[in-house]
Structure 1
Amino acid sequence: MKKLLAFTVLFLAFYASVEAQTKDKEPNIILIFIDDMGWADLSSFGNTDAQTPNIDKMASEGISFEQFYVNSPICSPSRVAISTGTYPQRWNITSYLDHEKNNNARGMANWLDPSAPMLARNLQLAGYSTGHFGKWHMGGQRDVTDAPPITDYGFDKSLTNFEGMGPKLLPMTKDETGKVGKIWQDAEILGEGYTWVQRSEITTGFVDAALDFIEEASGEGKPFYVNIWPDDVHSPFWPPFEEYGLAKEAGKRALYLAVLEAMDQQMGKLFEYIQANEELKENTLILLCSDNGPELGAGKAGNLKGYKTHLYEGGIRSSLIVWGPGFIDKSAVGSRNKESVFSAIDFTPSLLAFTKSPKTSLSDGENVIKTILGKSKDSRQAPIFYSRPPDRKNYYGIENLPDLAVRDGKWKLLCDYDGRRPELYDMVKDPGETTNLADANSDITKRLVREVTSWYATMPQL
């Protein structure tokens, strides 16, 4: 009994010491941005076809948000929004960045303007070590070889894939016969420092690089901000070699699920590293979400309508998990927030306030850090506005898709650029967007049409 008491006293003293050491330190932040994962693809969000135990464990120790939105249904603009805290339309990035000719044809920039406000840059100026590990896709892809390097956007170090400038991991493949191939071989023209790695192991490569960076920053006594943005679970789907043959026989969905489970397993290494270090565990905030909805036939969004590229809920609503034992309100641990509505542009002002860092010069987001940490269930006050990718008027079997959308309180409205063909949905009663209430609520419809078309008129026009 005396030994047990002595051990308890020593443990409490150690914990108090760690808490005292971390109390006055700036918090560490890790932002995990998964690629093309559907709202219902995590098993903690209802997936019964595959299991994501490592991410689920983070959810059980953190908060899951059911009404979190990204700011575009497609890759590049969604990444611009979460990085800058602004609508991507401000920077003429409204669809995925492609070859220069295709970008110009769609009225788009070839890369994000380096003068854009950046969460990473403001944290860097506040003394943070900043690293980006994973997909970038905000400049430097296909034949666009003169884009700025990622380090020009406020990052001390970067490791990316075939859609970014700077050191990169490029994907090799191996099929069920053992045949080896390469994806995006032309990406070698985007600069030196590339390493060819099996596609199924690239997430591990990004995690390992991030862990080295974290260890270095911790050794220097500096807080860190780290992006871990895997290629997963974007197509083409290349799960580990030993699983590829069986998954391929079962079809596209099976290949996708095998990649999803492999990604979760690879992410487990990061989570275990943070959890095993008491100081990091108590002083690190992790946010995990997807950049947009799922590809048709691969991921799923539950009962939500639509897919990637659509302004319906399936294209823009993302499962969000926030983990941080030292910061999350104890009463919210393991909870599901079903009512708070906010979006990726709110991360920048929220995290800058959380770290007591200088605000950016321009922001469309709001500070919702109390909601993120489970200390409130407030939503953002302003509406969330959208415009569709200009090259996606007809996609995934739906013709004449709406051009604009707005979420305001419980209401969601979609319409065309000229305000015609309005669709109005009560998102509390009808998250699947099945019953158009536009005619029955003409005043609300007119107000939201006016607001979203006015917003779009203030953005640079294509």
Structure 2
Amino acid sequence: MRKYQLFAVFSLFFAATLLAWKEKPTTVTQNATPPNIIIILTDDMGYSDVGCFGGNFVPTPNIDRMAQNGRKFMQYYSAAPICSPSRAGMLTGMNPARWNFSSFLDNKKHNKNAEQADYLDPSAPSMAKFFKAAGYATGHFGKWHMGGGRDVTNAPGFEKYGFDAHNSTYESPDADPLLTATNWIWSDKDSIKRWDRTKYFVDKTLAFMDNNKGKPCFINLWPDDVHTPWVPRKETEYTGQYPMNPEEQAAFKGVLKEYDVQIGRLLDGLKARGLDKNTIVIFTSDNGPLPSFKGSRAMGLRGSKLSLYEGGTRMPFIVQWPGHIPAGTTDETSEISATDLLPTLTKFAGIKLPATYKGDGIDRGATFLGKPSLRGKDQFWEYGRNAIGFNYPRIVADKSPNLAVRSGEWKLLMNSDGTDIQLYNILKDKKEQTNLAANEPKKTGELKSKLMTWWQTIPHLK
């Protein structure tokens, strides 16, 4: 009898253990070591610039290595088709229009013409604030472009957004003097030459982690490669002429090749320090390419930077976290938004967001961990409120209407005055060639109503 009682106890214990294993949370528990987090935000990288996304400009073995060690997403979207609002959307987890960001930040006159703020409101939520409050060391190394530079001298400092340390470029409230010998974005007089900037930011990232041993780190590694001007090592300087001639395409290839080398240095540096296993590394871009070399930098997707077509907002996206995120996998179906990073990464770190935070992103941790799913929440974009404060693609067919919404398999674009309505089944027609607005009146009406409702809820500075 005793033998059967022991067997029953063992069976119950085994069942309870199995159930606990099956229900193991995807977040980091209080007893686990919180993961380091590094977000690599490339500047103006096209969807297919790198090899693992179909690029054939130059080999990119180190970025491809991230895909081999992690998970690649084919339907990741930036928050905007241009840098400043895209960066604000990622940092806050909110649509940038909510913080009066609609175009790139420039001087005060330009910003007023673009009907936007001069800098990100320091009261805005930010990933860095949430991670810092949870005991993380926080650093920003690279381009900022959310306030500061030109005649905007009153932009809040990095500490107001939750960063402990920073080294940044001209378009920031506190530019690194080694990168800004003159009052401009780039100069041949800079101590850190144009071709060495990414190397400099990688060095700062690794040094920051060295200086914070025993403490989890949250880091924005936001280089200004592969944005023009393209000044590759030992190559002639960028001529500034458009469209790009073959020599300048060669310059782009030189910059991309060096950029890949520096991503490799980061990955090797993490491994040498024993940090690779507990560091989430994300690789993506802020917006589409310009120039796009006739769409070849965006896998033939329509549009480029400055456009709400896929070429302007669909970005390469790779995430690696050894032992957690399945290596060498690709997710073709899950839509991911830049605004999703804040709720996803804080959840992984075991950070509970305050009840007062009302973001536009959703937790997509399950998709990161290998379980594809529909997003279940619409994505909205805007770009081009007027003809004064906005630039547009030189290729007429790439100039999109100024509003867009992605809802499941459908994407609708239209102008805020109700004109130029375009509907695409984005799963069947990712190059946006066949406008179905006339064929699908019910879906067109539904998405038009959603888009106009959203447009009316966001602030409009004058």
Q: Same fold (TM over 0.5)?
A: yes
Aligned-partner SS, 1:286? strand
How far does residue 387 in structure 1 lie from its aligned partner after superposition? 0.6
CA distance in 2, matches of 1:245, 1:71: 29
Matches within 5 A, 1:32-431: 32-168=40-176, 171=179, 185-187=182-184, 196-218=191-213, 221-242=214-235, 250-278=246-274, 280-297=275-292, 300-328=297-325, 332-359=326-353, 361-374=357-370, 376-390=371-385, 391-392=389-390, 394-398=392-396, 401-431=400-430
Letter of the aligned partner of 1:225 in structure 2?
F
Aligned-partner SS, 1:110? coil
How far does residue 379 in structure 1 lie from its aligned partner after superposition? 2.8
Aligned-partner SS, 2:439? helix
In the alignment, structure 1 residue 446 sits paired with structure 2 residue 440: no
Letter of the aligned partner of 1:133 in structure 2?
F
How far does residue 276 in structure 1 lie from its aligned partner after superposition? 2.8
CA distance in 2, matches of 1:252, 1:93: 31
Letter of the aligned partner of 1:141 in structure 2?
G
Equivalent in the alignment of 1:6: none
Letter of the aligned partner of 1:345 in structure 2?
T
Aligned-partner SS, 1:300? helix
- CA-to-partner distance for each residue in 1:246-302, whole Å, 9 max, x for gaps? 9x9832222112111111111211110112333x12211001100000002457101
Equivalent in the alignment of 1:8: none
Distance 1:389 1:168, change over 3 A: farther
Letter of the aligned partner of 2:168 in structure 1?
T
Distance 1:394 1:284, change over 3 A: closer
Letter of the aligned partner of 1:105 in structure 2?
N
Gaps of 5+ in 1: 1-21, 173-181, 189-193
Equivalent in the alignment of 1:175: none
CA distance in 2, matches of 1:283, 1:243: 41
CA distance in 1, matches of 2:221, 2:348: 20
Contact kept in structure 2, 1:28 and 1:224, CA below 8 Å: yes
CA distance in 2, matches of 1:23, 1:68: 32
CA distance in 2, matches of 1:223, 1:243: 42
Letter of the aligned partner of 2:376 in structure 1?
Q
Contact kept in structure 1, 2:158 and 2:173, CA below 8 Å: yes
Distance 1:171 1:253, change over 3 A: farther
Equivalent in the alignment of 1:26: 34
Contact kept in structure 1, 2:306 and 2:391, CA below 8 Å: no
Equivalent in the alignment of 1:17: none
Distance 1:47 1:341, change over 3 A: same
Aligned-partner SS, 1:197? coil
Aligned-partner SS, 2:283? strand
Aligned-partner SS, 2:412? strand
Contact kept in structure 2, 1:285 and 1:327, CA below 8 Å: no
CA distance in 2, matches of 1:244, 1:102: 28
CA distance in 2, matches of 1:420, 1:250: 39
Contact kept in structure 2, 1:393 and 1:402, CA below 8 Å: no
How far does residue 377 in structure 1 lie from its aligned partner after superposition? 0.5
Gaps of 5+ in 2: 1-29
How far does residue 204 in structure 1 lie from its aligned partner after superposition? 0.8
Aligned-partner SS, 1:168? coil
CA distance in 2, matches of 1:389, 1:141: 23
Contact kept in structure 1, 2:300 and 2:431, CA below 8 Å: yes
Letter of the aligned partner of 1:348 in structure 2?
L
How far does residue 244 in structure 1 lie from its aligned partner after superposition? 6.1
Letter of the aligned partner of 2:90 in structure 1?
I
